[in-house]
Structure 1
């Protein structure tokens, strides 16, 4: 198996105050890095490598100073800019702001990840056009960032390979900065056993791919309002001590029981799933 340094957290800033990310830095942890959809560093991340993200073009002039404050060696580009309900940026706008505020970081030696595209068909089209445009101006991305949501392993693998080989340079690595198994049906979600097996098997597969440098499963969050999905669709509870939570009904989660050692030794913490979600903290 490849180095566990691939394994990371997409850690919402809303988690701070409920859960502390430093619990994942204890001895034996296989988590090595995190990002939080923001250029502001997560408090108490200890040994985890924090990677700032410039979610859209708002306040992009602050990116360089925040990356410097965080001692960042890499930054992540815009979040799903091809989608109206995400950063919603035209290629023209994204390229202009990249050249203005991200390119100076690249010239200073910071690795600059591409905008993270969704697995919707327009994602790869958008990214290819974006890369072409910044390359024409002497810039480039340092690595490619892909997201994927769907049901079956084969669909995920096909997406990864086909999208990677549509990129202009296969010497560059891929970061899978969001992925999960979901059918988007809150009334008839996928069985939790399917999602557990998918998470474990797909992450182990990513470990075997030399061109996948890092990955982060979506997602370890309690605050469903921040989860980028409608409120009753996504939530995850977790503890690092392996005991695992069982809802008493006061937090809006139904009792599902312990999913002890769900992904052990893949990830060294316990998770529980919302009854109306297919995303797990993994």
Structure 2
């Protein structure tokens, strides 16, 4: 199964996340933009919480590689920097391609047999990503490409992913996507049914496309601030921590 969820560490506890990994769930992995998911970063999480899912760590930005926090044990895939082309400090540490590439050489030393690295995931700037790759010494290149796409049509999602694949030739992990747009000239979704339909089309295509390795819908939060402008219709969880109807669709595979 390819589908997973993101869970912002700012939510302070991972307890609500357990609802997404109950018996019968089609979801298999999660991440929280950090090296660990446990109580070292989330002090209010129940000490005996068990999630039946793979945790995928992330090096959020170059300074986080040596920030004193140990990477989660037994990781198999690690996500690279989060939106280093983005100027919003609430979601990223803006860093040049050259500086990210220089730091990446150290990050790549964590890769050993059985461990794979996903590229930095840009917010939108493909030229940033191409420049980053141009600076990497041989043997340090990522194994897979991490991608973020926010759009209001399935065709746009597919076309953008195909462009990433054509330009970089790597398998893709779509670590953030939702039916929303940050362009004020683009209409947001008008009703929940549109988002249900978008999810159904998108997850079916993602599951059937061999060069898509994994994906994670964006919208698993309680606090609206942690949506960072993504339309509320994309919520997989409500403000009280209950799974929404869209969240249940996602748990069940997304296609329905």
The TM tier, using the shorter chain, reads 0.7 to 0.9
Work out whether residues 37 and 52 of structure 1, in 8 Å CA contact, stay in contact via their aligned partners in 2: yes
Structure 1 length-normalised TM: 0.74
Looking at CA atoms only, which structure, 1 or 2, has the larger radius of gyration?
Answer: 1
Q: How does 1:81-230 map to 2 (within 5 A)?
A: 81-85=84-88, 86-100=92-106, 102-107=107-112, 109-118=114-123, 120=124, 123-134=125-136, 136-167=137-168, 170=169, 172-184=170-182, 189-191=188-190, 192-229=192-229
Deviation at 1:49, TM superposition (A): 0.5
Which structure 2 residue ranges, 5 or more long, are not aligned? 39-44
Which structure 1 residue ranges, 5 or more long, are not aligned? 246-257, 269-281
What RMSD, in angstroms, separates the aligned Cα atoms of the two structures? 3.0
Deviation at 1:96, TM superposition (A): 1.1
Q: Deviations over 1:29-77 (max 9, x none)?
A: 11100111111224635221101111112231148x622x432111100
Number of residue pairs aligned between Structure 1 and Structure 2 = 239
Work out whether residues 221 and 235 of structure 1, in 8 Å CA contact, stay in contact via their aligned partners in 2: no
Q: Deviations over 1:159-187 (max 9, x none)?
A: 000111000xx3x31100001111446xx
Q: Deviations over 1:6-28 (max 9, x none)?
A: 01001112334484222222211
Structure 2 length-normalised TM: 0.81
Q: Within 2, Cα distance between the matches of 1:87 and 1:209?
A: 32
- Aligned residue among 80, 83, 87 for 2:83: 80
Distance 1:264 1:90, change over 3 A: closer
Q: Within 2, Cα distance between the matches of 1:261 and 1:61?
A: 38
Q: Within 2, Cα distance between the matches of 1:125 and 1:244?
A: 38
Distance 1:229 1:25, change over 3 A: same
Work out whether residues 199 and 254 of structure 2, in 8 Å CA contact, stay in contact via their aligned partners in 1: no
